[in-house]
Chains A and B, each alone.
Chain A
Amino acid sequence: MTPSPPETDDELLIRLRSGDEEAFVILYRKRQAAIYRFALHMSGSLTVAEDVTQEVFLALLRQECGFDPERGTLSGYLFGIARKLVLRNVERGRSAVALENDLDDGTLPELAVNDDPLVELTHREDIAALRRAVQALPRRYREVVVLCDLEEVDYADAAVVLGCPIGTVRSRLHRARGLLLDKLNQERNPRQAVGGLKPARCLS
């Protein structure tokens, strides 16, 4: 006897709409971690991340939540709300303060070390440096890196979340990675700084 396949988001949403608390809990447990991490990466604050996660799912409870399956996935819709809420917090200035307090005070839990000698950037210090570099990115670049590289949202969904064409997502991602490399190179080798890895002109 094979176990029944897990319900899709749309199926869970239908059950939720009919007042099924279990469906809501399943949906919440399925999606909350990604939303929480997205808000955490974007704001740098555990408090803001918690607030945003709560507000995102409260929005889902509202009858007039506005989710339209024709326009994208539920996951993309939730990320979209989270993004707006984070931006609102940033505008209020909560995140800037929280970023310093939370991160500098080590509020973020210590990350485990992934032992893979073949991977250059898996040392604890390198990971921490990379995480700092991501958080130092301008918002428009940070959000594509967090969505596409860290949360593995597909480019089409990311385009819906960010409200831009898919080509813009790709080009921002490319630019963001370049900025990350420059930032990491600056940290590792301040003298060479920017341009150390940039290709020389090539006519081949």
Chain B
Amino acid sequence: MNCQEFWNAMSQTAPPQMGSGEEMGSGNAGMTTVRLADSAGLPNHEHLAHCPGCAARLRSYVALQKGLRAVASQMGSMAAPPRVEARLREAFRTQAGMGAGGWQSTGARARWMPVSKWTAVFSWATAAAALFAVAAFLSGGRQPELASPAVSAGVEMAVAGMPAEIETDDGNPIDGRAPTDGGTSTDGGAPVVESGFIPLPNAAQIGPNEEVNLVRVEVPRSAMIALGYDVKPEEASGSVQADVMLGNDGLARAVRFLD
């Protein structure tokens, strides 16, 4: 066997292992395993006995494997930050809780903005809120009033704070403009605030200075029934987009259907 044949054969086998004489890890079970035999960590192979060049190169491969294992073990403790789990759990609950027929029958689909986009969203929201305040001042200095005692300042802040259009990761704009009908209604039993947001049952109220996040999701239309909307039976299997308002703790507080 010459060098070329030797390396061709090596490329078709599992790499030499770090430990002496250890079998391949369970991850690659079933692969041809090169067993290490000598103290230099090289496999028993006739070619290596006659070719110092290949032996040297193979030795460097073994060292490389050790280095890669060291990199892997040192980075082994790295994991996604806890906030990712919190967001995913919230997405799970939103999805599971909003499907009237339960998780299996909903076909619900959640879409979250990537982490990196929150900064842009908050910047836009702050700018829009400032613009709103200036406009209110210039138009007579009248102080904005709560639409009803049931509406928290936090909800209003979110409504005012959202820019006219914010692009999500899939390119769809989030329309943050408040509907023009205004006021609070209790149509269907659920209190609808002027932004169109309906407080979720058993959800905590948003604090006066609490920052809120809006997340757009797609839910089955049947979920609207649970919140007091009339849904035609033939439309119940369809889906509808909704904005979910999340509090500081990442829990959903209110929802607004876009249709």
Q: A155 is contacted by which of B31, B69, B74 (Cβ under 8 Å)?
A: B31
B103 close to A17 (CB less than 8 A): yes
Q: Which of A4-12, A99-107, A170-178 contacts B (4 or more CB under 8 A)?
A: A170-178
Residue-wise, chain B 100-121 has the 8 Å CB interface mask toward A (1 for contact) of: 0011101111111011100000
Chain B interface secondary structure, helix, strand, loop or mixed? helix
Residue-wise, chain A 73-109 has the 8 Å CB interface mask toward B (1 for contact) of: 0000000000000000000001000000000000001
Contacts of A126 in B (CB 8 A): 67
Number of A-B contacts (CB under 8 A): 183
Is residue A198 within 8 Å, beta carbon to beta carbon, of the partner chain? yes
Contacts of B138 in A (CB 8 A): none
Q: B112 is contacted by which of A35, A54, A150 (Cβ under 8 Å)?
A: A54
Is residue B10 within 8 Å, beta carbon to beta carbon, of the partner chain? yes
A120 close to B2 (CB less than 8 A): no
Residue-wise, chain A 97-135 has the 8 Å CB interface mask toward B (1 for contact) of: 000000000000101111010011110001100110010
Number of A residues near B (Cβ < 8 Å) is 69
Q: B72 is contacted by which of A25, A61, A116, A151 (Cβ under 8 Å)?
A: A151
B103 close to A18 (CB less than 8 A): yes
Contacts of A134 in B (CB 8 A): 68, 71
* Max chain A Cβ within 10 angstroms of own Cβ: one of B67, B74, B112: B67
User: How far apart are the CA atoms of A92 and B108 in the complex, in Å?
Assistant: 28
B54 close to A61 (CB less than 8 A): no
User: How far apart are the CA atoms of A86 and B40 in the complex, in Å?
Assistant: 39
A54 close to B57 (CB less than 8 A): no
B74 close to A202 (CB less than 8 A): no
B85 close to A19 (CB less than 8 A): no
Q: Which of B89-97, B147-155, B204-212 contacts A (4 or more CB under 8 A)?
A: B89-97
Contacts of B95 in A (CB 8 A): 61
B79 close to A33 (CB less than 8 A): yes
Contacts of B96 in A (CB 8 A): 19, 21
B104 close to A18 (CB less than 8 A): yes
Q: Which residues in window 25-79 of A have CB below 8 A to B?
A: 25, 28-29, 32-33, 35-37, 40, 47, 49-51, 53-55, 57-58, 61-64
Given contacts A33-B80, A37-B79, A127-B70, 13 further A-B contacts (CB under 8 A): A19-B102, A25-B85, A32-B80, A47-B115, A58-B112, A111-B75, A121-B63, A122-B66, A149-B15, A150-B68, A153-B27, A197-B56, A202-B50
Interface pairs (24), CB distance under 8 Å = A19-B96, A19-B103, A37-B75, A37-B78, A47-B116, A50-B84, A53-B80, A53-B84, A54-B88, A54-B114, A55-B112, A58-B110, A61-B92, A63-B106, A112-B74, A116-B70, A122-B66, A122-B70, A149-B15, A149-B68, A155-B28, A174-B7, A198-B57, A199-B56
